[in-house]
Amino acid sequence: MRKLRMWYEKTGRARYISHLDMNRCMQRAIRRAGVPAWHTRGFNPHVYLTFALPLSLGYESTCEILDFKTESDMSCEEMTERLNGSLPPGIRVSRIAPAQMDVSAIAEAVYTVRLRREDTDGETLEERFNAFWAEEEILAVKKTKKRETTLNLKELVQVSDLRREENTLCFTLHAPAGNELTVNPALLTDAFWAFFPGENPVTLVTRTACRTAQGEDFV
């Protein structure tokens, strides 16, 4: 039995597919493609998939990771090719390879964040964001099912490569992700929009990498 890891992209309209729907979507694609993934036994047999890191609804990603098992000899290349022939638009497998690290090794995620709003231009957005980021503390409340914690985002995340693309402000964001602590980019962008209020802000986030605590790519 081989434990395999699949890297895939989820972009464009596919960003509106929820996590649960993604699970169902992948299961069907695997079935359509004739990829011999291992099924659970029992009352409701289905393909067993585990996702390394959840992705919020509305986010794109070029580095989604999911693990599955197989008892067959089919090559990873063939599986990749078959899947790419049967996936809906917006979802594409980049590669499949044997899983190396344990999922718990993930410590950080890298995002590209794009902000825009109809009533404002790129220059104002950049100026306001710089003012926002200049604060010593940026506090946000992280809510989980069990508790609420207040975090100082300035200590936890790094913003780099701030730039304008016409009327959109873009930057790269490094944030903790994984079993220890996950900081959702929404905590930062919500705080910014609260700092600079206005109607109908548009926040587009794309996850681009998953890293270990040592800063290496997760494989």
Partner 1 sequence: MGMNYKDKLDEILMQVQKPSCYVGGELNSVVKSGEEVDFRFAFCFPDTYEIGMSHLGMKILYSLLNKDPHIWCERVFAPARDMEEQMRRHGILLYGLESLEPIKNCDMIGFTMQYELSYTNVLNMLDLAGVPVLAKDRTDLAPLVVAGGPCVCNPEPLVDFIDLFMPGEGEEVLPEICALFREYKAQGKSKEEYLRAVAQIEGVYVPSLYDVAYHEDGTVKAITARDGAPNPVRKRIIHDLDKVFYPEEFVVPFSEIVHDRAMVEVLRGCIRGCRFCQAGFIYRPFREKSHDTLNRDSRSLCDSTGYDEVSLTSLSTSDYSEIEPLLDELLTWSEKEQVNLSLPSLRIDNFSEELIEKISRVKKSGLTFAPEAGTQRLRDVINKNIDEKEIFDSCRLAFAAGYTSVKLYFMMGLPTETMEDIGGIIDLAQRIVGEYHRMPNRPKGKAVHVSVSVAVFVPKPFTPFEFEPQDTRKMIEEKVKYLLDQNNSRKISVKYHDFDTSFLEAVLARGDRRLSPVIYRAWQKGCSFDSWQEYFHFDRWMEAMAECGLDPAFYANRTRPYDEIAPWSHMDYFIDKNFLIRENKLAHDSKTTPHCRRRCAGCGANRLKGGVCFEKTEDVV
Q: Both tokens of residue 98?
A: 């044997």
Tokens of 106: 């993930």
Q: Does 36 bind partner 1 (CB under 8 A)?
A: no
Q: Is 27 in the site for partner 1 (CB under 8 A)?
A: yes
* Cα 82 versus chain centre, distance: 24
CA 10 to CA 167: how far, in whole Å?
25
Shortest approach of partner 1 to residue 125 CB, angstroms?
Answer: 16
What is the secondary structure of 178-214 as a DSSP string?
SSS----HHHHHHHHHHHS--SSEEEEEEEEEEEETT
Minimum gap (Å) between residue 213 Cβ and partner 1: 31
Stretch in the footprint of partner 1 (CB under 8 A) among 13-21, 64-72, 140-148, 150-158: 13-21
User: Judged by CB under 8 A, how many residues of this single chain contact partner 1?
Assistant: 33
Q: How far is the CB of 167 from partner 1 (least distance, A)?
A: 12
Shortest distance in whole angstroms from residue 64 CB to partner 1: 15
Residue 20 or residue 134: which is nearer to partner 1 going by CB?
20
Beta strand 106-117 with 91-98: parallel, antiparallel or unpaired?
A: unpaired
Structure tokens at 127: 């100026």
Contact residues for partner 1, defined by CB under 8 A: 12-14, 16-18, 20-21, 24-25, 27-32, 39, 43-46, 57-58, 86-90, 118, 200, 202-204
